[in-house]
Structure 1
Amino acid sequence: MRFAELNPLAIIVPVTVAVVLLAIRMYVLLRVRHKRQREARQEAERLRYLVIAYRSLAGSFTPATADHRAQMEEALADVVLFGSIRQVELAADCVHTLMLGEPVDYQPLILELRSDLRTQLGLDPIPETLLLPLSGPGRPPRQAPGEGRAGNNGRMRSPV
């Protein structure tokens, strides 16, 4: 069979099918890549807020005072929004106790946050033989990453 005798459809149809399949493949690959990038951004943002909440809750080794209530409420709200179910349960317990005006034991939530964050960041767990003092919300909140210090007279602002 000679080249001149070939039907033009015999060439056009396979090329068209190949181009369509290639376009579909590229579309699917782009969608998957965008989805992974979005999930990675969401996870990074979630971790950022949980780290800020952890720093607010565990940022001191002195007990909380009434002056820290707004800071604690913001941190607990962030945990409720971005935390795991267990962290949300612990934060809800803290909120209920806070609303009753009773002293709040933040330690279970702080320990859960520390453990989860270390796992998420790929860090080894803190050995149980290493005794850390109890931590609590007794100092001004830490600055969020990227926030400047200008205009606040050297004091740190609430990150959220």
Structure 2
Amino acid sequence: MNFGHKIAIVYTLFVVFIISLVTFCVKQKDIFLVSNDYYKKEMAYQEEIDKYANTGQLSQPVKIINAGEFLTIQFPEEMQGASGEIHFYRPSDANLDFRVPVRIDPSNSQKIAVSQLVKGKWVVKMEWSKEGKNYLKEEKIIL
């Protein structure tokens, strides 16, 4: 076998590899967008920037603490009585996403049981309002 045959074999193997890779990618069924209405959300992005700015002006930052059995979200004292929603979404599987209403207890925190959460990467997006002012915080956590 001469040098030309070896080059032809390498090129042929490369083409077979690329065709196999493309075929595998096209046949995948579990490709999820992060959000089904991503275009509408993109158009309202300035509102999100304003909400992030409001969150940055709080007396203390909102903290997410992984404390074993519970995920504790610590709010500043001035947020007592706020209403909103906490969205847990899993980047790898949209079927595991869920939402929890904001219910701040007298200690300015909210506890969420982690027993219902699958281990791995989660994105926690908290959106709440108080006295007509909107707030937003997004944080990635690993359980």
Question: TM-score w.r.t. structure 2 length?
Answer: 0.27
- Structure that is richer in helix per residue: 1
- Structure that is richer in strand per residue: 2
Question: TM-score w.r.t. structure 1 length?
Answer: 0.25
